[in-house]
Structure 1
Amino acid sequence: MPYDHRKTTRRTPTPTPTSSHTPGSVLTRALALAGCCAVLAGCGASQAAPPGGKAQETRLESATQSLPPVASGGQPSRSPQAAPQSSRSPQPVSQGNRPLAGRTVVIDPGHNSGNFRHSREINQKVNIGTTRKECDTTGTSTDAGYTEASFTLDVSHRLRDLLTARGAKVVLTHDADRPWGPCIDERARIGNAARADAVVSVHADGSAVGHRGFHVILPARVRGGSADTAKIVGPSRDLGEDIVDRFARATGTSPANYLGSGTGLDVRDDLGGLNLSTVPKVFVECGNMRDPKDAQLLTSAAWRQKAAQGLADGIATYLKG
């Protein structure tokens, strides 16, 4: 609530009357006037607010402002100092600065650095709606050994911070807080359980040298077994198109030159994370780790921040649309 800046009136103490015929009357009046000045000066001093007494502190300042200090010769003058700014409460964050308030976004960092040490677990097959497939994979890496799992977690953290700043509730499917996984079917269940408004699975590709650029994977229309993507195909495409547009702007990179006919969009029916989702979801392959030029971008912290910004902008555009 804004502070009430209405002024309050303070009554000045009146000195005891003395006879004008008394020899000490002039001195008495001078001393009385000095006492009044002392009272006023005391009111202008810095006062410590009582515990929890913010309102009392404000009333004190308001009263002080209504009493101009007394200049030499006993004439009042207006103080040149403004009211202390430290007593004002910070203004609440406006809804305009948190446009995604009330929205839930699930971020799925692809793979897990621990998968390399748990081949038996991740090779176990799980139901992906239409068939059975390995629980998870290790992911790819650059020629220098920078792993996809490290890349996806870093970008996911940056993306989380950007979305949270806009007011969104963000859920990560994992945060390097488990030794391996989660499996692809569990990743889908996490997004479904959160009733997410959007789910983005962050990845980087491992294609041939010369294959450059990013692309977004959309769910195909799948119905069979435990999979039914009919309700999410349309919204997921909208989400994917917004991400393609914003990602290109933020990173300055182009859609993949090796699939998607230059649109940056690829439709697949073999990914359990998409087949089993009941909420809008896409996979984003941010670049090709096996191409030296793309790898140079993917290993740059500054570029990863741009990638996160592009993802955040795309998600926000979709949610506000």
Structure 2
Amino acid sequence: MPYDDSPPPTRRARPLAVAAALAAVSLTAAGCGGEQSDRPDAAPPRPGADGVSPSASASASASASASGKPLPKGPLTGRTVVIDPGHNPGNRDHTREINEQVDMGTGRKECDTTGTSTNDGYAEARFTLDVSHRLRALLEAEGARVRLTHDADRPFGPCVDERARIGNEAKADAVVSVHADGSAVGNRGFHVILPARVKGGGADTTPIVKSSADLGARIAGHFARTTGSAPSNYVGGKTGLDTRDDLGGLNLSTVPKVFVECGNMRDPEDAALLTSESWRQKAAQGMADGVSSYLKG
């Protein structure tokens, strides 16, 4: 969930529909090829639990996988992907810190939020880490250098400005922020949030709007095909794509970036999927296939 516990209002959908994305997927196969409310500032990066700046840890060896083993050679060799697991399991114990205002480029918002959860208590922060680990493994298997903005290795955060900065400093070819929504019962399906054209303060998304839209459309198409989930019935006009200008993690990005809201944790039917290990693997695979399709061009 991007960073409020309330669902965002339906916003203008990009003209790229999931059907078009799925058509692009078919061509590629044929050989033609979360933050609900953001918050970050120009404050210096906060140290992690080990006293090391997450930006520094994210800049670790580019030639090694998360396990420390050499990366295999593959179609994504030489490409860098940053995965941003939404929220942090420790945020709930650091409400004062995460409520501090930070700069989101065009205004100020809280550093982060706790995220949402299922009615049975499965936290979004746990979900996002699990899916992010699966996504990292899949991308590394294709040779990509993968970095996480955090791995629950710090007390809270990072703040949304720092999340954007980690991707920028890594000069990532793509950034995916993993989330799940917290909307009303009956609101179902996934959606991918794209950056709006924003220019003001420290934000200028002009250079990344088009590439992020391409990345998002490819992820939406593959996600739908792999998971069997339908595009959201309450956000994005059933295209599976939603454009927003109020998320610091997108506003402050200088590299292609999207948020993926994998489903609605407050709807029992969606919650049954989100709590399923086999479905989470499919979700990670759908995102990995979309990222791979985008990076291969």
Residue 180 of structure 1 and its aligned partner are, at CA, apart by: 0.3
How many Å separate the matches in 1 of 2:254 and 2:221?
A: 24
Partner deviation per Cα, 1:121-164 (whole Å, 9 max, x = no partner): 00000000000000000000000000000000000000000000
Partner deviation per Cα, 1:60-88 (whole Å, 9 max, x = no partner): xxxxxxxxxxxxxxxxxxxxxxxxxxxxx
> Mapping of 1:155-174 within 5 angstroms?
155-174=131-150
Query: Who is 1:121 aligned against?
Result: 97
Residue 259 of structure 1 and its aligned partner are, at CA, apart by: 1.4
Residue 182 of structure 1 and its aligned partner are, at CA, apart by: 0.3
Letter in 2 for 1:144: D
Match of 1:309 among 271, 285, 294: 285
> Mapping of 1:238-253 within 5 angstroms?
238-253=214-229
How many Å separate the matches in 2 of 1:261 and 1:110?
A: 24
Residue 291 of structure 1 and its aligned partner are, at CA, apart by: 0.1
How many Å separate the matches in 1 of 2:98 and 2:236?
A: 29
Report the identity percentage: 75
Query: Who is 1:22 aligned against?
Result: none
> Mapping of 1:5-24 within 5 angstroms?
none
SS at match of 2:224: helix
Match of 2:192 among 207, 216, 232: 216
Q: Does residue 287 of structure 1 match 2:263?
A: yes
How many Å separate the matches in 2 of 1:159 and 1:289?
A: 20
Q: Does residue 204 of structure 1 match 2:180?
A: yes
Query: Who is 1:256 aligned against?
Result: 232
Query: Who is 2:115 aligned against?
Result: 139
TM-score normalised to the size of structure 1? 0.70
Higher RCO structure, 1 or 2 (CA under 8 Å, sep 6+): 2
> Mapping of 1:170-181 within 5 angstroms?
170-181=146-157
- Segments of structure 2 that go 5 or more residues without pairing to the other structure are 1-70
Query: Who is 2:169 aligned against?
Result: 193
> Mapping of 1:31-180 within 5 angstroms?
98-180=74-156
TM-score normalised to the size of structure 2? 0.76
Q: Does residue 273 of structure 1 match 2:232?
A: no
Runs (4+) of structure 1 exceeding 4 A deviation are none
How many Å separate the matches in 1 of 2:258 and 2:101?
A: 22
Query: What's the C-alpha RMSD, in Å, of the aligned pairs?
Result: 1.0
How many Å separate the matches in 1 of 2:154 and 2:220?
A: 31
SS at match of 1:232: helix
How many Å separate the matches in 2 of 1:248 and 1:259?
A: 15
SS at match of 1:231: helix
Contact kept in structure 1, 2:80 and 2:145, CA below 8 Å:
yes
Letter in 2 for 1:258: Y
